[in-house]
Amino acid sequence: MYAITIPEPGGPEALVWGEVDDPVVGEGEVLVDVVATAVNRADILQRQGFYDPPPGTSPYPGLECSGRIAQVGPGVSGWAVGDEVCALLSGGGYAEKVAVPAGQLLPVPEGITVDRAAALPEVVCTVWSNVFMVAHLRPGETFLVHGGSSGIGTMAVQLAKAVGAKVAVTAGTREKLERCAELGADILINYREQDFVAELREATDGKGADVILDNMGAKYLDRNVQALAVNGRLVIIGMQGGVKGELNIGALLAKRAAVTATTLRARPVEEKAAIVAAVREHVWPLVSGGHVRPVIDREIPMPDAAEAHRVVEDSSHIGKVLLVTPS
């Protein structure tokens, strides 16, 4: 098969489309013929040499994919050759084939084409596990997501609105904020021109956010705590703004607030399977019913993965950038 390899870490040009060995299907796994995958920030970090795949997993980038089952391994039930699926991966999505633990498979939702389904697994599992399983966002609460026009952000806005929350977003352009509004965001904050702490307090009569989903890390840590409501929950899922910050414990205690940091890629197979099962139960009906949809900026041929990485690194996109395998 062909896959995107990284012979040496570096810029987008480090991504090389080349011939590699086919994956071997193990106990409890299926082989998927990949139709499409999506670019995530973790892929960029891996390309740069900062985020190696977990031991024993595919060395190729790609944390999600969609396609059709080509082989069912021993110990797998409930899936058959030819089924259209999408999958949460630890790696290997930038390839023509990938072996996937059966517990990380999802059926392609009704009303979604198999290629567009590649935009769903990573963002839906990330949002559902963090915003709902960890932070327990409830109807009527205020939810703030940083980077509201990103793949994670566009999904977080839709799911938070679907459960009846009031949604605030930060983004860097009017176009991106307008797109967030179309998805249901109530409070629009341009982080280049406005202070999100002040804007959020004004919009909530001084209360702040009950739940914050943050991709910035250190840069926003202090202000995120300031922006939290009493009993608020801050969940950190990224480090785009650095890894070391100062935490005001006094402010945290005064608000009886919580700070949690999570990753998805390195979790044990059993934990990922539990998240995927929860997504299938709670989110897939919303997708099939048309209440939640993947937001896709563009599709790019997989051999041109370097171009896709440049788009994502420039933050010029809204939603997801897909890589499609050659037909």
pLDDT digits (tens, 9 = 90+) for 189-217: 999 999 999 999 999 999 999 999 999 99
Cα distance between residue 121 and residue 320, in whole Å = 12
Q: What is the mean pLDDT of residues 4-16?
A: 98
pLDDT reading at 300 higher than 90:
yes
| C-beta separation of 126 from 53 below 8 A | no
Cα torsion through 259, 263, 269, 271, rounded to 10? 20
Q: What is the mean pLDDT of residues 284-294?
A: 97
Positive or negative torsion for Cα 279, 277, 237, 116? negative
Give the chain's mean pLDDT: 97
Q: What is the mean pLDDT of residues 44-48?
A: 97
pLDDT for res 8: 97
pLDDT reading at 109 higher than 90:
yes
pLDDT reading at 68 higher than 90:
yes
Q: How confident is the model at residue 136 (pLDDT cuts 50, 70, 90)?
A: very high
- Locate 240 and state its tokens: 């785009």
pLDDT digits (tens, 9 = 90+) for 79-98: 999 999 999 999 999 999 99
Distant-in-sequence, close-in-space partners of 301: CB < 8 Å, separation ≥ 6:
323, 324, 326
Q: What is the mean pLDDT of residues 279-291?
A: 97
pLDDT reading at 285 higher than 90:
yes
pLDDT reading at 267 higher than 90:
yes
Q: Is 64 left (phi over 0), alpha (psi -120 to 50) or beta?
A: beta
Q: How confident is the model at residue 110 (pLDDT cuts 50, 70, 90)?
A: very high
Closest CA to 102 of 24, 31, 21: 31
Q: What is the mean pLDDT of residues 248-271?
A: 95
Terminal-to-terminal C-alpha distance of the chain:
13
Q: 180 - beta bridge partners?
A: none
pLDDT digits (tens, 9 = 90+) for 142-200: 999 999 999 999 999 999 999 999 999 999 999 999 999 999 999 999 999 999 999 99
Cα distance between residue 164 and residue 166, in whole Å = 7
AA identity, residue 129: S
Q: What is the mean pLDDT of residues 13-18?
A: 98
pLDDT reading at 327 higher than 90:
no
Q: How confident is the model at residue 30 (pLDDT cuts 50, 70, 90)?
A: very high
pLDDT for res 35: 98
| C-beta separation of 125 from 279 below 8 A | yes
pLDDT for res 225: 97
